[in-house]
Every structure is written in C-alpha cells, then in structure tokens.
C-alpha cells in the first residue's frame, strides 16, 4: 500500500505483516522532509550517497558519517522500521527537483474553457462564424462552452435551444465530443465540448514541439551571449610614401 508517496507495510494473506524493502531507488522525498537533527529515530538504516547499503546505525553515527562527507542525512522512508535515511546534498537535490518541476510545467498543455454564446434567433452567418471559432478552440486543445441565451418569452421555446446545440454537435462531430450534456441554468442552456482523443493528442504534440523549439532557441541565445566575438587582427598601415628629395651638392664641392 502507498501512503503519501511512501511505501508502508502491508498485510499478507496469512494474516502477518511484513515491512517493505529497506530502500528503493525510486523513493520520493516529500516536502519538508526531516533532515539531520530533525530526525527523531534513535537508529536508522543508512543508504550512502552512491546508493550503497551501509546498514543500521545509530542516529549520531549516521550524522557523523554524513558530516564527514559534507552531505546531509535525509529521512526518505519514515514508515519503515527502522526509518531509512539517505546521505545526500539536500540543497542540491531540492534545487534539481525545482528545476525539473519548472521544465515539466513549461511542457504542460494548459486547457482553457472558452465560451461561445448563441441566441434562438441567431442568424445563419453568425452561427457559422461562432462554430468556426469553437472548432479552432477545440483544435488548440481547449474546451468549449456553448451557451444559448433566452430572452423574454423565448424561454418558453427551449426546444429551439436544444435544436441549435444538436446542430453544433453535428457540425463539430469530427473534432469534438460532448463532455457535458445540455442543461438549463437560469435562463441559459449550455453544454461543454471537449476535443476528441485524436485532436487532443495532436494539440499536445504541437504544444510540446513549440516548447522544445522555444527551449532550443533560449539555449542558443544563451550560448551566443556567452561566446565572445573573435578579436579582429590589427591591420598594418601601409608604409608612408617618402617624397623624392633631390640631394643638393655639398658646399665647396668640385665643379
């Protein structure tokens, strides 16, 4: 059984209880996990920084061992008996986890719910224009809320609103599925459409490709910014032309 991302002991069919293995590489460190002096157990099962099993040690001995390596002692499985602790650089670990979460968030596809409003007497060209918008929303991976607004005595003809919503479903059958069937809310009738699995997958792939391209462009920009342009070799000036000077005859020279 798993509790809050941590493995705990589970009953066997024989009625007994067994503890799960002391450590697994796929452990999950929860937020505000106990570290160093915050660990309450007197004895802990220690896993080294490289993943090696160091056995059961007293808390003081485990802290001394972690301190000698310049690392922290982190309780990774408090439900085990004794609790499992790992020697690691906890600050670096939290930084890398935060960085991974940030990168994963960039690649997530955010789904928006966009609303389109119609009337029982909506003109044909307005209807077609709004249906095209709904189709575009769905192809982008978003959901669409199609609302029919009734005014005055129009509320007595709800069948007109139902007919319009049926037409919308038929016109968008290639890209949409009905997530929430038409229902009344006050003087409005609405339904919610979602992209079908094929369209949704295509939208996710496009979003990931765009995120990857943006990340590559950002990395290239950082690399270009960090690279200094090569200094141009100095250009030697051409030698100055010496004016032809006619040597004057020496004074008192022979004629």
Cβ-contact 38, 77 below 8 angstroms: no
Higher pLDDT, 250 or 112: 112
pLDDT tens digits, 119-149: 999 999 999 999 999 999 999 999 999 999 9
CA distance 212 to 162: 43
DSSP state of 179: E
The pTM score is 0.49
Q: What is the pLDDT of residue 4?
A: 41
All domains of the chain in start order, with CATH = 2-91 (3.10.20.80), 113-199 (3.30.110.10)
Instruction: Supply the DSSP string of 82-97, one letter for each residue.
Output: SPEEEEE-HHHHHHHH
Q: Using 50, 70 and 90 to split pLDDT, how confident is the model at 33?
A: confident
pLDDT tens digits, 152-202: 999 999 999 999 999 999 999 999 999 999 999 999 999 999 999 999 999
CA distance 44 to 85: 6
- Give the count of beta carbons closer than 10 Å to the beta carbon of residue 63: 19
DSSP state of 140: T
**Residues near 190 by beta carbon (within 8 Å), at least 6 away in sequence:** 145, 146, 147, 148, 182, 183
């Amino acid at each position: 059984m798993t509790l809050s991302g941590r493995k705990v002991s589970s009953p066997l069919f024989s009625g007994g209880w067994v503890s799960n293995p002391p450590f697994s590489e796929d452990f999950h460190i929860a937020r505000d996990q106990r570290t160093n002096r915050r660990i309450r157990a007197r004895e802990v099962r220690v896993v080294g920084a490289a993943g090696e099993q160091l056995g059961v040690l007293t808390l003081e001995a485990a802290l001394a061992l972690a301190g000698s390596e310049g690392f922290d002692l982190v309780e990774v499985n408090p439900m085990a008996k004794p609790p499992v602790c790992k020697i690691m650089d906890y600050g670096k670990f939290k930084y890398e986890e935060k960085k991974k979460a940030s990168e994963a968030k960039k690649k997530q596809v955010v789904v928006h719910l966009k609303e389109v409003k119609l009337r029982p007497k909506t003109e044909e060209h307005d209807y077609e224009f709004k249906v095209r918008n709904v189709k575009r929303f769905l192809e982008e991976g978003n959901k669409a809320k199609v609302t029919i607004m009734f005014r005055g005595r129009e509320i007595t003809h709800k069948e007109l609103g139902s007919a319009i919503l049926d037409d919308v479903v038929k016109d968008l059958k290639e890209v949409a599925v009905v997530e929430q069937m038409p229902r009344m809310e006050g003087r409005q009738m609405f339904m919610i459409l979602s992209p079908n699995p094929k369209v949704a997958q295509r939208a996710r792939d496009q979003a990931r490709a765009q995120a990857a391209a943006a990340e590559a462009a950002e990395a290239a920009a950082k690399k270009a910014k960090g690279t200094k342009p090569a200094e141009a070799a100095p250009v030697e000036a051409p030698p100055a032309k010496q004016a032809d000077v006619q040597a004057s005859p020496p004074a008192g020279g022979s004629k």
